Structure formats: C-alpha cells, structure tokens
Structure 1
C-alpha cells in the first residue's frame, strides 16, 4: 500500500506505459498524431504529455461515497493530455483547450484564474479540464506552496478513447490526466494519494458528489492486478485475479452522463443514503450532537453491528429492517430509503467476499463460479434495491448470462453504460461473437452503430497500469 504515497510516475518512453507489440505501435501512432495536431493548432510542440486510464468496477457499486471499499481495475483505454506552458511575456494569459476530435468537441478558452466558477448550466466537455485546473491550484494553496501570479496560461490538446457515457469513468480520466499535466507543467509532482483526493474533490465542481473510486484507481492502478480501494484515508491493495478468467466489457448503448443526470439520479441516491444513516443513528441511540456529523452509512456501521450482536446476529442489515420504517416519512419514501441502505450494506459485504474468494486456495474454476455468483448478486441488488439499472442493461445482462458469462452486472453509476461479464479465458472470442449476434446485430442493422466500430463497444480486458507523466 506504500505505493499510494509515491509520486505520479514519469516516463521517457511509451514502452514503459504501453508495453510491447500492437499496443505500443498503436500508442506510438496516437502520440505522433497528437504531437502533429498540437503543432498545427498552437505553432509549438507540447512540453509534455499526461495520461490517465478509464476503469471498470468489478464489484462494489454506489458504496464509495458511503465510505466503503470497492474493487475496480484500470482499462488500457485512456485519455491523453498534451500541454505547453504559454510564454511568460504574454500579457493575456489564458487556458486554451482543444480536443483532437474538434468537430464533436469544440475548443474552449478560459482565463488563467483558478478562482473562477464552473458553469454547471453548460454541460460542456471542457468543464472537466477547468475542474482539474482549479483542483491543482486549490491543492497548491492548501499545501502552502507559492506559485507566481498572474497565473500562467496553457495550451492543451486532449485525446480520449475511454468510451463516453458508458460507466467506465471517461470524465474522471479527463480530470486526472488534465490535473497531472498542469501539475507537471508547473514543475510539481504530488503523491498518487494526494492527486486522487484533490481530483475527487475538484470534480464536484461539475455537480457530481462522487466518492473517489474513479480517481483512485486511475492514479493507483498497476498492470496485471485489480485493486481493493479503501477510503478515509485512501489505500490500495493488489488483488490478483484468477488466471483462467477474463472480463468482458459490453456497452448497452444507453448513455449515462452523471454530470447531466446527477441532480435527479446519482446525487439523489447520495441524499437517500445520508437520510438512512441519520435516521438509523437516532434510532440506535446516538446523541443528537453526534447525529449532526453523520454523513454516510459507514459512519454508523458500528452501531448497526452492535445492535445485531445483542440479538445474536452479525449483519448490519438487521438494524435497517428494524428501524427504517418510522414516521414522518411516507411509506413510499421509507421504502426507498430502506432499499438503498440494504444495497449499501450488502454490497459492502460482497466486495470483501469477492476478495476472499480470490485469495482462497480453491481451484480457479471454483473461484470463478464464486466470483460470478457475487457479481450476479451485485447486479440484482443494483437493479432491485438501488434502482439504477435500465431496460437495455437488463437485456444485455440476460444475453451475457445466456451465452456463458459466469457472472454479469452493470458497472459504473448505472442508468445506462456498460455491463461487465466474467467469462472463462478460452471462451472470450465465442462470447464476443454471441454478443454481436444477439445484442448488437439489431443495433447495427438499424444504423445505430457501425459494424467496424464494434470493438469499441464490446471488448475483453486485463488490468492496466495507472496515470503517468510522459516526457517524450
């Protein structure tokens, strides 16, 4: 876990990040395009690059913001930010942001001033870069470091291949990559833990009350292993997955954009969970002055366990079922609060059961069945108790299980996005072919997606490495 206190790694070659073979060749071509586009746009080449990966959460959904551990892994799909510090003699310092796909994502210019507010009424992609910009200088100020003012301007070019609105953290990849690029351009480097913490906080300028999983895995990921991420403080422990298993990520093609839907869906769940925690705190005898400081269900887990222990049981769910049914709430409101709390406590247990199964001495095939069952239970809880699924996700989960997935569940915030499936490694090709026929074929025939793009909508993945600075 000591690696969370290490600084963000700096590489002088792409091989250190992308390895060898086709992956390296693709990266070399991509970085060269980025360098050329940067010169065409700004008249200079970049000073440096930064990259941050997307992620898939294997288990532990909607519990990071409740203080509970999660178990994600990083994807090879990443966002790259090329950056150059503007000349100091420029009297009009700005932050100029361009996307390599400037037809879909128009450019943006904002003042070189960290105190400016993010306009939440305009859901533009560059807001994530602005969040990162603010976050870096907020952190610099909090650490008591001095930066010359007026603030420097930057020329920035972004290239992201993390699927957007798919529940695999494209937004946090932009924030993390932008933050470490600006940090590095200022000659600074902070620990992975620090960057994970301040990027989680700064992303809330967009309006999403995220819990920190996305940023933590993007910064702390290590090639070949998933990570058990603990919070308060952030810690990351390697989880070596069974060799005979593979994870396939498939896109439901229903967009889930947290920054747009946060007020009505994602953030509402945060409020429901806090309400459940405060009600339980009162009913379990916490002094009122203490209740005011209760923010998450993990804050009162000890009281719930003590309540259960006194009655010869061990699960915190007993307190939920006993106490979350009092006035002045309506029956419908209380039902929602009870369901949310049940999901959080049971999902938190599944995360550790997943890790225990991985660490067991059982044969790989037995482990894989146990892991698959936990993933299936997680999806049922997300769908039935947390109400964050949608018809397309349900259809895709059904198709995955019918075609050999040992476990399949929605991943990410839900309400659209992706399904992650656990399959036997030798069955990946046939599994992907089945998804193409039974889920994606109708979408291809209707013209919704192109067949040649199918690899971006369904793919197998092994755990990838984390964020990095590249001086090329």
Structure 2
C-alpha cells in the first residue's frame, strides 16, 4: 500500500473524525500462466504480489457505508446497506460496496462502516487491483461481523460482487490468489473443484527476476471483448457436448476442428492448450524450478495473440523486445486488451531488458511503460488493530 499503517490510520481519523477499528490489506496478483481458463473450469497458476490495497475501517451504529478512495478518483461514496442491489452502484465504489452487498445477500449481516482505501496496485494494468480491493474489504467485513468465513468462501463472495454488482464476467482466479497466496509460492488452483495448492516459486533463490511491464493501455473487464470471449468458450463447450472446456484435451482438438466454426475453434484451442501449459508449468516448478518456464510463457503469449486475440500492439512489442533483450520468456498477463506483460529474466539482465523495452516504446511513439519487479507475497489479512 502507498501509505504506512500509521499514516493510513491517521488519514482515516482526519477524514472521519475517529480512529479506525483496524487495517486490512490484500495483494494484487500476477498470473504466471493460465489465462481465460478459470471461467472454463480449468487450471490457473497465479501468485499474490508485493503490492497491495489497504482498508482502514470502523463500524457505525447505523446502516450507512461510507467509502473514501485515496487513489484513482479520490472521492467519497455513501450508500444505505439496506438499499444495495445488483447494479445499484456505479464506478469504483461498486467493488467495495458489492462485497458488502454479497455478505448481506448470503445472509451474513455486516454493520454500517466507514472505510478509507489506499493502494499501490496499478489500476487497469492487469494486476487485479479490483480483486485486491474486494479482498481487503472481504477480510475486513469477515472480521468485523465475526462471520468466520474461509478464504475460498471469501473468494467466492468477491467474485459474486464483481460478476453481479460490477457486471464483469470474471472467474475465481484473482480473488483466490489475493486471499490464498503465500510468500515464495504460486497458487495452483483447480477452478472446478476450487482446490488450491501452493507451489514453490523461489525467484530470487534461482537468480531470477520477474519484470512487470505495464503498457499504460488500460483494460476493462466489464467491456465487450472479455464477455465475447467467454461467450465463445461457452458456445464451444455446448457444441462439443461438454460441461466446460476443461473437459477437452489437446488430443480432442482434431475432432473439435470439424465441428466448430474457425473463430470458435481458435478460442477453444487456446483454452485447451493453456490448461495443458498450466499443468506443465506446475510440474516444472516442482522438479526443475522457475528457470525452465520460459518456453511455456512464450507459447502462452502466442496463443493469446493469435487464437484468443486479446493482445494489443503495445503488449506484443513489450514481449518481443524483452525476449530479444535476453528474457527467458515473456507473455501478456491478465484479461488482455491492454494491461501488462511479464518477462522472466536472469537478475543480471533485468536492467538491460527494462531499458530495451523503454527504448522500443519511445521509438514506436507509445506512452512510456512502467517496468517494475514483483515477488510472490502473502495473501490478504489484518495488518493492524
């Protein structure tokens, strides 16, 4: 988070005239591999990152929820908890208020609240700033209402808020990574069973650095591109007679090509091969370590660019330049249509890759990218109070 816990507490007091009951934080995430597989009941391999969203909060005696954002729009939104319903809140406040609505909707009452939000997870960069906000609010509401919900249960509430209040048809991956992550590990998640396993991801110990290249091209999950890809996947599963694309294997693709139209086939091929890449990546991390992941990252980007068509010129330039400058592998990460790429590099080459990408963007006339490193971090929880 941008502010320290002490500073955030003081900011809350200055805004609301009283001290917070506590401070809770939740990290953003990088998806190492496994894109658009989560809502297809497939496999994903994200990890929580060392950038987070924090919420200072205190209960109220009435049914009002007041949320102030110190980042982004920097505004105060107030709502009556009794009047929240799907689609009743617009803009950034739909994420935190949507979580409170989801608690209420499942029959877990939450008190009226004053919330002060701060974050250093870039918005629109594909690092799941939305899930970080949802999960920070979820662990806070879980504590203050004594609900005793588990991490997977809180992840489901966050997803429900994003699907129904925000209107973004996202899967369960982002919230699961933010809640279940552990330092030095990735989260291997089966999105059908919701079973999660921590897989070692010791980047520093392997002499590696993971660069995030934020293209500054903002993406939006509630927009039509994401929804149309999901609809194509659902159509492909229906035409192939399976519950979800998870149920198809790479060996099934030849038969699939004879049933589906060309575009739907390419969408299906991405999901099926991406699931296989996730499983291969988990095996590599268990046996050889992260240094061998490069080819899978490269294959994943090609699949997203050509079959799923969710890349953009800025992402492609970032990936191609990083590879030419010595990256072991690179791919776009997140929902696509902008956002960030990741590049796995030997730590000694990180500065050279960063400089090469910045130079390439300048030569192309693109906005200067933000390039920074991330490490696997622990998941959401209470940090003070």
2:77 to 108, 115, 125: 108
Unaligned 5+ runs, structure 1: 1-25, 282-290, 306-313, 325-333
2:99 maps to: 132
C-alpha separation in 1, matches of 2:38 and 2:71: 32
The CA distance in 1 between the partners of 2:271 and 2:163, in whole Å, is 22
- The question of whether the paired residues in 2 share the 8 Å contact of 1:105 and 1:125 is answered with no
Distance 2:226 2:364 in 1: 30
Superposition deviation, residue 461 in structure 1:
1.6
Take 2:159 and 2:329, find their aligned partners in 1: how far apart are those partners? 30
Shift of 1:437: 3.2
Could you tell me how far apart the structure 2 residues matched to 1:132 and 1:61 are? 24
The answer for the alignment partner of 2:214 in structure 1 is: 251
Residue equivalent to 1:162? 121
Counterpart for residue 390 of structure 1: 312
Question: Across the two proteins, how many residue pairs are aligned to each other?
Answer: 381
State the structure with more CA Rg.
Answer: 1
Which residue number corresponds to residue 319 of structure 1? 255
Determine helix, strand or coil for the equivalent of 2:97.
Answer: helix
Task: Please give the alpha-carbon distance, in whole angstroms, between the structure 1 residues aligned to 2:363 and 2:51.
Answer: 24
Please tell me whether residue 468 in structure 1 is matched to residue 381 in structure 2. Answer: yes
- Paired position in structure 1 for 2:53: 79
Q: Deviation of residue 425 (structure 1)?
A: 2.3
Find the partner of 1:57 among 20, 25, 31.
31
1:384 CA displacement: 0.3
Distance 1:74 1:188 in 2: 24
C-alpha contact (below 8 Å) 1:34/1:100 kept by paired residues = no
Per-residue Cα deviation, 1:323-373 (whole angstroms, up to 9, x for no partner): 22xxxxxxxxx221111001010110011111122223x5x6xx62x4111
Question: Cα 1:113–1:397, aligned 2, differ >3 Å: closer, same or farther?
Answer: same
Aligned equivalents of 1:51 and 1:137: distance in 2?
21
Is it true that 1:377 corresponds to 2:347 in the alignment? no
Partner of 1:182: 141
Structure 2 unaligned spans of 5+? none
> CA deviation digits over 1:65-118, x for unaligned, max 9?
0011111111111000111001x3x5xx3111111247x332111112265233
CA distance in 2, matches of 1:114, 1:66: 33
Per-residue deviation, 1:440 = 5.6
1:45 equivalenced with 2:45 (yes/no) = no
Give 1:241 shift: 2.8
Contact map agreement 2:37 2:271 (CA 8 A) in 1: yes
Match of 1:341 in 2: 268
CA RMSD of aligned residues (A): 2.2
Range moving further from structure 2, 185-194 or 430-439: 430-439
The 1:37/1:442 distance shift into structure 2, 3 A limit, reads farther
Partner of 2:121, secondary structure, is: coil
Normalised TM-score (structure 1)? 0.76
CA distance in 2, matches of 1:462, 1:101: 23
TM-score by length of 2: 0.93
